[in-house]
Amino acid sequence: MRYKEIIGEYQKVPPQQFRNLDFSDGKRVGKISTKVGLFQVWVLENDIQIAYGVIDSDPKNPIAVLGFRKFGDDVLMCKNAYTSPSFQRQGIVSELMYFVNKIIGNRILSDTQLTDDGEAVWKSLIKSSKFNTKIVYTPTEEVFDINDVGKKYTQDGTLVLSPIQDNESDDAFDDDTPNGQKFFYFLEGQYNPSSCSMNLMEGNILQPYRHTDCDF
Q: pLDDT band for position 215 (50/70/90)?
A: very low
CA–CA gap between residue 83 and residue 149 (Å, rounded): 30
Give tens-digit pLDDT for 77-101.
888 888 888 998 888 988 999 999 9
Does residue 208 surpass a pLDDT of 90? Answer: no
Q: Got the DSSP string for 96-128?
A: HHHIIIIII--EEEPPSS--HHHHHHHHHHHHH
Whether residue 102 contacts residue 189, with contact meaning beta carbons closer than 8 Å, is answered with yes
| Maximum pairwise Cα distance, the chain | 53
Quick one: pLDDT at residue 2? 53
Quick one: pLDDT at residue 174? 59
- CATH of region 3-187, choose from 3.40.630, 3.40.50, 3.30.310, 2.60.40: 3.40.630
* pLDDT cut 70: percent of the chain above it: 69
Quick one: pLDDT at residue 14? 46
Residue 149 CB coordination number (10 Å): 16
Q: Locate the domains of the chain by residue range.
A: 3-187
Query: In terms of pLDDT, which residue wins out, 164 or 66?
Result: 66
Give tens-digit pLDDT for 137-188.
888 889 999 899 999 999 999 999 888 777 665 555 555 666 677 888 888 7
Closest CA to 67 of 86, 46, 91: 46
**CA 203-45-202 angle, 5° bins:** 25
Quick one: pLDDT at residue 210? 32
Whether residue 39 contacts residue 56, with contact meaning beta carbons closer than 8 Å, is answered with yes
Q: pLDDT band for position 196 (50/70/90)?
A: very low
Q: Give the three-class secondary structure for 81.
A: strand
Provide the Cα torsion 163, 164, 170, 175; round to 10°. Answer: -20
CA–CA gap between residue 28 and residue 30 (Å, rounded): 6
Does residue 9 surpass a pLDDT of 50? Answer: no
Q: Is the overall model pTM greater than 0.75, yes or no? A: no
Going through 6-159 in order, the beta strands assigned E by DSSP cover 27-34, 37-45, 49-55, 64-71, 75-83, 107-109, 133-137, 142-145
